Structure 1
Amino acid sequence: MLDVSVIIPVYNAAEFLEKSVHSALQFEEVKEVILVEDQSTDNSLEVCQNLVSKNKKVILFQHPDKKNHGAGASRNLGIAKSTGSFITFLDADDYYLPNRFQAEKEIFNNPKIEGVFGAIGIEYLTEKGKQEYQSKFSDTLLTTVNYPAEGKEVFKGLLGLTPKTFGTFFHLNALTIRKSSIDQYNLQFNELLRVHQDSDFIIKLAYHCYLKSGIIDQAVAIRGIHDDNRITKIIKYSPQYNQRQLLFWNSLYDWSTKNNIPSEYKEKIYLRYKSFDLSQKTGVSKYYNIFIEAIKNPNILKTQYRFNYQK
């Protein structure tokens, strides 16, 4: 049987946390639920302490200095403190569905498989959150991929290098990974990224580890959409959006260089990074439309504008 450590970073989630934790405790596969409280300004810490007092599987940690360090650092602390053979993640305002580990029970019988991912759905918790989400993502009911995949096909798909469109990033809520694989490849969340650290982690994970799709046509977890979702606040291709994307792709480019990954992958990452880098440097100028095009399709830099990738 699987023995799973569920890691939940907690920041100002008092309203949702109890449902989130109980959704994980319903499974016999769950060995422990690790809460990492990140200097919330609401009563999240009190809620955490109450949950710990009621169930011995719930364990609470804070950062040594008791200060706010962000979701990436909180997940890293949770990984370091975990004792399960498998690691899963859950956002404090989200929850698991009863089929969360259905695919994993069978797939992990194959020792070659290091990680399994599935689909998540959405639940609108506020009208304002619904409007913001739909204005940015239309009415996408599932965050998932377009077809079953495993191994390097997953990594290539996330970079847009597969013949068929692989789809969006799968969500951390639907990922289960062997703890031994995280340790073997020394995989951590980039603590300098306050957003997109999850996508950064997933791409690196997909390169180093053998991942396989599980249930991708129905949700295994639910993401709560409300007024305070950070990802819905940023207007696409705005200066703030471009800056955050630049930091994300720069992180991946630094990683690709240090790990000496094959040039076809490194080039794709570099061109994405350079697109956002140039858009930041030019800002609103006569070149602005050029770089918006380049952000959408980095190959434009190589074709129309004769920009050469430096290996």
Structure 2
Amino acid sequence: MKFKYSIIIPHYNSEVSLNILLSSIPNDDLLEVLVIDDRSSTAEYRQVIESSSLANIKEFSNKGVKGAGSCRNIGVEKATGQYLIFADSDDYFTTNAFENINAAVDEIDEQIDILFFQVTSSDSRNKLGFRHIKNSVLVTNYINKTGKYYKEKIRLTHNVPWGKVFRAEFVRNNNIKFDETIIANDGMFSLKAGKLSKDIACSNKEIYCVTQSENSLTTTKNVNHYRVRLEVYTRYYNYLSRKERKHIEASPFPLLYLSFDYGVVEVVRSIIYLKKNRVSIFKNFKFSFERLKRFTSRLSK
């Protein structure tokens, strides 16, 4: 393999943020950058790529099923690096990210399949966000706490591709692919990688910043997007063993109560769908006062 790292970036109509992301990547012979465009409405992103200071940058087009999942799969196929790093075009790498990555990779065994790092997030006002918190806690607990619970939980619930370094051979040998869905295309990839990995490691160094947008696919209310999430969660749930479901308290209940935004008919439809696919709503779910308060507030809307 020519490069040590392949950075895979799906892109759609986000030229300004793509420029920020590319500017956060050093021009290093160890790195190749692959930008996979998801049929943007203009070709302005090409000017960003052409004006970039990065010598090892390549552009590809997604001519298949539209979505970031398809773009990432193209990136994995085209990548020549020993390790894979995924980034979204509206995010960026933090200061010294690649020094931290390279130092951590050089310290670990070559057979480590996934290396997890700390990440942060920022909102539209450039203030500290919240999207990183769950995964940051998983990494911190893995490092600082003992016991199988924390070692397994990060494998099964760290359900995003960013903030990680994957051994490319591991991903390809296990045929781990992103779902080709318009949303939630990374959940099954992350779960399969976590379950199939023989060895993982964590670093407390921060490498990545996730940006929070009010109009992103993850925050925009859309019943079709909700249904895709429900379908993906059903596959996620059924991919887990009974023991693993209990271990991580797997339940669709937090997702199910989002269905109230779309009316009673959608709630009933969701319950029938879950029952048909043998997904238990309450079996592993633990109620808390805060969860109950959020649920009742949604019911009253």
| TM beyond 0.5 | yes
Please report how far the alpha carbon of residue 180 of structure 1 lies from its aligned counterpart in structure 2 after TM superposition: 0.7
Task: Specify the alignment match of 1:56 in structure 2.
Answer: 55
The AA in structure 2 aligned to 1:98 is T
Task: Specify the alignment match of 1:90 in structure 2.
Answer: 87
Task: Specify the alignment match of 2:227 in structure 1.
Answer: 243
**Aligned partner (choices 73, 79, 92) of residue 76 of structure 2:** 79
Determine what percentage of the aligned residue pairs are the same residue: 19
**Aligned partner (choices 284, 295, 299) of residue 284 of structure 2:** 299
Given the alignment of the two structures, is residue 16 of structure 1 paired with residue 13 of structure 2, yes or no? no
Deviations 1:2-35 (A, max 9, x none): 81000000101111111111212355542x1000
Measure the CA separation in 2 of the matches of 1:90 and 1:176: 11
Answer yes or no: is the 8 Å Cα contact 1:85–1:178 preserved in 2: yes
Answer yes or no: is the 8 Å Cα contact 2:256–2:267 preserved in 1: no
Please report how far the alpha carbon of residue 116 of structure 1 lies from its aligned counterpart in structure 2 after TM superposition: 0.6
Measure the CA separation in 2 of the matches of 1:141 and 1:271: 19
Answer yes or no: is the 8 Å Cα contact 2:11–2:37 preserved in 1: yes
Please report how far the alpha carbon of residue 220 of structure 1 lies from its aligned counterpart in structure 2 after TM superposition: 1.5
**Aligned partner (choices 183, 200, 204) of residue 192 of structure 2:** 204
* Aligned-residue RMSD, C-alpha: 4.1
CA 1:222–1:276: 2 relative to 1, 3 Å: closer
Counterpart secondary structure, 2:34: strand
The AA in structure 1 aligned to 2:75 is G
The AA in structure 1 aligned to 2:22 is V
Deviations 1:95-115 (A, max 9, x none): 111332415533453123111
Counterpart secondary structure, 1:16: helix
Please report how far the alpha carbon of residue 159 of structure 1 lies from its aligned counterpart in structure 2 after TM superposition: 7.8
Counterpart secondary structure, 1:91: coil
Given the alignment of the two structures, is residue 122 of structure 1 paired with residue 160 of structure 2, yes or no? no
CA 1:116–1:282: 2 relative to 1, 3 Å: same
Counterpart secondary structure, 1:9: strand
CA 1:269–1:252: 2 relative to 1, 3 Å: farther
CA 1:51–1:90: 2 relative to 1, 3 Å: farther
Task: Specify the alignment match of 2:141 in structure 1.
Answer: 147
**Aligned partner (choices 195, 201, 212) of residue 225 of structure 1:** 212
Task: Specify the alignment match of 2:202 in structure 1.
Answer: 213
Deviations 1:69-100 (A, max 9, x none): 10000000001000111100111011111332
Answer yes or no: is the 8 Å Cα contact 2:117–2:206 preserved in 1: yes
Counterpart secondary structure, 1:7: strand
CA 1:267–1:194: 2 relative to 1, 3 Å: farther
Answer yes or no: is the 8 Å Cα contact 1:115–1:212 preserved in 2: yes
Given the alignment of the two structures, is residue 5 of structure 1 paired with residue 9 of structure 2, yes or no? no
Counterpart secondary structure, 1:118: strand
TM-score, with normalisation over the residues of structure 2?
Answer: 0.71
The AA in structure 2 aligned to 1:6 is I
Counterpart secondary structure, 1:24: coil
CA 1:274–1:86: 2 relative to 1, 3 Å: same
Answer yes or no: is the 8 Å Cα contact 1:126–1:226 preserved in 2: no
Measure the CA separation in 1 of the matches of 2:134 and 2:252: 28
Given the alignment of the two structures, is residue 105 of structure 1 paired with residue 108 of structure 2, yes or no? no
Counterpart secondary structure, 1:214: strand
Given the alignment of the two structures, is residue 70 of structure 1 paired with residue 67 of structure 2, yes or no? yes
Counterpart secondary structure, 1:148: helix
Answer yes or no: is the 8 Å Cα contact 2:250–2:285 preserved in 1: no
Given the alignment of the two structures, is residue 186 of structure 1 paired with residue 178 of structure 2, yes or no? no
Please report how far the alpha carbon of residue 268 of structure 1 lies from its aligned counterpart in structure 2 after TM superposition: 7.5
Measure the CA separation in 2 of the matches of 1:142 and 1:47: 36
Counterpart secondary structure, 2:16: coil
**Aligned partner (choices 129, 153, 169) of residue 157 of structure 1:** 153
Answer yes or no: is the 8 Å Cα contact 2:90–2:211 preserved in 1: yes
Counterpart secondary structure, 1:147: helix
Measure the CA separation in 2 of the matches of 1:105 and 1:224: 25
Answer yes or no: is the 8 Å Cα contact 2:132–2:210 preserved in 1: no
- Equivalences, count: 266
Task: Specify the alignment match of 2:244 in structure 1.
Answer: 265
The AA in structure 2 aligned to 1:199 is G
Given the alignment of the two structures, is residue 195 of structure 1 paired with residue 174 of structure 2, yes or no? no
